Structure 1
Amino acid sequence: MDGEKIRQRSPSFGEYYSHPLLFWRSQTPFEQQHIIDGFSFELSKVVRTWIRERMVDQLPISISGWRRR
């Protein structure tokens, strides 16, 4: 086989939120609340406020509605 080998990632690799969003939408409201409660519990153990804020800011917009719950 002739040609130059190039290591490249597909453009879809840059899409970080599609799979977690599909997972989130597949959960029942009860399961979503359980995930929110667990995430909140784990974040409450983080001492540095800026780390907690950064983690919450990384949530996709449609998932970050958990702040209202």
Structure 2
Amino acid sequence: METLNPFDDENQRCLILCNEQQQYSLWPDFSAIPAGWARVFGPASRGQCVSWLEQHWQDMRPASQRKA
């Protein structure tokens, strides 16, 4: 039986995490939040999280590069 990667599972509840460089990550809600990251959205469906990212993360450069 093939196991889905939780990052690819459309039915997985997710979080949106943000780090100090204002970069975001789609993260499965069952997994511990890594050091240096904070929850900013969710838990919600993967689709809702992707929509949130599309609306809020317009510039993927780290904050330090945007200021330069």
Relative to its length, the structure with more helix (as a share) is: 1
TM-score by length of 1: 0.27
**Greater RCO, 1 or 2 (C-alpha within 8 Å, sep 6+):** 1
TM-score by length of 2: 0.27
User: Rg bigger for which structure?
Assistant: 1
